[in-house]
Structure 1
Amino acid sequence: MVSLWQKLQAKLLRAFAKRMKAKFTYDPARFPLRAVAEQTIATPWGPARALFYWPHSQTATTLPVYLNFHGGGFVAGTPEHDDSYCRRLAHNLNCLVVNLDYALAPEQVFPAAPRQCFAVLEWLAGQAEALGIDPQRIAVGGHSAGGNLAAVVAGLARGHRTLKVVHQLIDYAALDLAQDPALKTSTVARPLLGVGLMRFFMRCYLSDPAQALDPLASPLLSPVDSLVGMPAATVITAQYDILRGEGEAYAEKLRQAGVPVRLRMFEGCDHMFTHLGPDESAEQAWQLMEDSLREAFQVVDVAEAGVRAQHDEGSLHTISTIAP
């Protein structure tokens, strides 16, 4: 049961988070877009606010999609913190970026957040024709708590009949909520993400501590065989971050399942470094994410072109054999 004190603490933390500005951002003028629009998406888990970043499309084909989940410990984040980076990805990759403001705890506890995120993914696929997007070229990604949600959503989408997640970006994510935060160590005395804050997040997010054993809460606890067929992953960790170990362990588990993984640990960095710096490391991390998405979108594009070519050749062959 969530106490009134926890709710008050969560509201205070959100107010602080909304005022907080990322130290590493891009000038929006560098990445001009056709439009940035806000839309509320109805889901079984309540309405979800989403920011849509529309590129100046360079082709007549349908756009790939990147669905972004912000951080904030499932409690205090806001999609506006990722605005600068969403603009960059939409412009440079010529894709639609959807930046989701998902259900937050403690008002909506687990599994509201992952289920709502997945519902939005399915909504996008259902609206593919109207939006002009390709439901077979969707990537998901997120930072911290958002990285957790990205991994969960990628798993829920595996084998889906009407959409395909082609890549997952997992940026310094909390992937094992069952482990006592006190056992998550850092090589520095005062890491940015501390034990007390982690415990507060978990008390807000989970109505029962036993829920932490559910792979929908802790993707790292997924059996290896349940990860077979997952989309390729880019996993980013930071040297001083207390979540580094679980990120690297999850990358290894994906590899054991035969999933292509690109793992990079950034030295001299802590939690949220992609937003707070050091600037050089943040830029390198965003470039890595951009390159990974570009490759994923292009690989699917090329594969589909090959299938279409084979189909056309087969059709031509069939016509030639029955023509008089």
Structure 2
Amino acid sequence: MNAMQTFKAKLLRAFAKRMKAKFIYDAAAYPLRAVEEKIIPTAWGPARALFYWPDTPSVEPLPVYLNLHGGGFVAGVPEHDDSYCRRLAHNLGCLVVNLDYVLAPEHPFPAGVRQSFEVLEWLAGQATALGIDPQCIAVGGHSAGGNLATGVANLARGHQRLRVVHQIIDYAALDLALDPEQKHSPLDKPLLGTGLMRFFNSCYLSDPAHAHDPLASPLRVPLEALQGMPATTLITAEYDILRVEGEAYAEKLRQAGVAVHERMFAGCDHMFTHLGPDDSAQEAWQLIEDSLREAFSAHCARLGTLAKPSLSGHVHHANQPGS
């Protein structure tokens, strides 16, 4: 880690914190019992997490969705996903845990993925007190968070105290070993460009050899080592430079016998679930919600008690009053 790298990362974080999603849901449309902040002890330091509790009368243990935000392993905060977490917790009747995992370059690979997995283990250890079902957990993330999510799902296979029943991988970076110069977009200036991708990689990988570690580059996992991964919803965007590796990972999972629901969103770039186009963003969130509902209904103690699907989302736009 060098001083200039850290300085640039801090500037990027300051900029990212001020960014607002253009496509967001109206929180009032998805009331919850509570949203609370918890600090979870881990070997990588205390982890801050936002807990979204559904207002559900069920006495059965709640399924859990662990959400991991984007930001290239370097920037981003869980608050960027706040309105989506509210929607999922309300519509699915599940606990959503929105994690503020450690960031690079101060905490390079494998800190983010290992800490996220420790949080999953902490949740399982606190299952009775929290009223959750540790055998009915889904993990998901956006961009770098999608990379971390599938890494967590990999680490969770065969675990005695918890089970990941589904993973959501949303326009994720899945092959850090491939030079960003070889990742292309039909657009002249895609949202995620070669230079920014190279900076993210240099921050996250303190040793370039780590790019070949399966937890850093899930696409590099040997085919046989992907057997037993949970069913997957994988989203890519037509103009995103990460589209090709996303599609390749979906195919590799299928070859390993994993059930994959894959969707490429035409006319969209990286981060479209947060930045629009609105219709595509709404379709993607509905796909995520429907996939989680199906997984939870199939695997959870609360079988048949999940909330009914929402027919439409209530959307605020960042340039509208009150948003």
**TM-score, normalising length: structure 2:** 0.93
Work out which of the two has the higher radius of gyration on C-alpha atoms and give 1 or 2.
Answer: 1
Given residue 281 of structure 2, which amino acid in structure 1 is its aligned partner? A
The whole-number CA distance in structure 2 between the counterparts of 1:58 and 1:185 is: 49
Map of 1:94 onto structure 2: 93
Map of 2:12 onto structure 1: 13
The answer on 1:148 being equivalent to 2:172 is no
**SS in structure 1 at match of 2:281:** helix
In structure 2, stretches of 5+ residues that fail to align are: 305-323
The whole-number CA distance in structure 1 between the counterparts of 2:41 and 2:299 is: 29
Map of 2:174 onto structure 1: 175
The alpha carbon displacement at 1:302 in A equals 7.2
The alpha carbon displacement at 1:109 in A equals 0.7
> How many residues of Structure 1 are paired with residues of Structure 2 in the alignment?
304
Q: Could you give the per-residue CA deviations for residues 39-72 of structure 1, whole angstroms, max 9, x where no partner exists?
A: 1100011110000000001311010000000000
2:63–2:300 CA contact under 8 A, matched in 1:
no
Given residue 49 of structure 1, which amino acid in structure 2 is its aligned partner? R
Map of 1:85 onto structure 2: 84
For CA contacts below 8 A with separation 6 or more, give which structure has more relative contact order.
2
In structure 1, stretches of 5+ residues that fail to align are: 306-324
Map of 1:203 onto structure 2: 202
1:65–1:139 CA contact under 8 A, matched in 2:
yes
The whole-number CA distance in structure 1 between the counterparts of 2:257 and 2:173 is: 22
Map of 2:242 onto structure 1: 243
The whole-number CA distance in structure 2 between the counterparts of 1:113 and 1:127 is: 21
Map of 1:106 onto structure 2: 105
The alpha carbon displacement at 1:189 in A equals 1.0
User: Kindly tell me: are residues 94 and 303 of structure 1, through their superposed partners in 2, closer, same or farther at Cα, counting changes over 3 Å?
Assistant: closer
Map of 2:50 onto structure 1: 51
**SS in structure 1 at match of 2:105:** coil
The alpha carbon displacement at 1:301 in A equals 3.0
Q: Could you give the per-residue CA deviations for residues 10-48 of structure 1, whole angstroms, max 9, x where no partner exists?
A: 000000000000000001000000000001100011110
1:58–1:94 CA contact under 8 A, matched in 2:
no
Map of 2:160 onto structure 1: 161
The whole-number CA distance in structure 2 between the counterparts of 1:199 and 1:117 is: 23
Given residue 158 of structure 2, which amino acid in structure 1 is its aligned partner? G
Map of 1:61 onto structure 2: 60
| Structure with a larger share of its residues in helix | 1
The whole-number CA distance in structure 1 between the counterparts of 2:2 and 2:303 is: 52
**SS in structure 2 at match of 1:275:** helix
Given residue 178 of structure 1, which amino acid in structure 2 is its aligned partner? A
**TM-score, normalising length: structure 1:** 0.93
The answer on 1:124 being equivalent to 2:123 is yes
**SS in structure 1 at match of 2:141:** strand
Cα RMSD for the two superposed structures? 1.1
2:62–2:302 CA contact under 8 A, matched in 1:
no
Q: Could you give the per-residue CA deviations for residues 240-284 of structure 1, whole angstroms, max 9, x where no partner exists?
A: 000000000000000000000000000000000000000000000
Given residue 154 of structure 1, which amino acid in structure 2 is its aligned partner? A
The whole-number CA distance in structure 1 between the counterparts of 2:194 and 2:300 is: 44
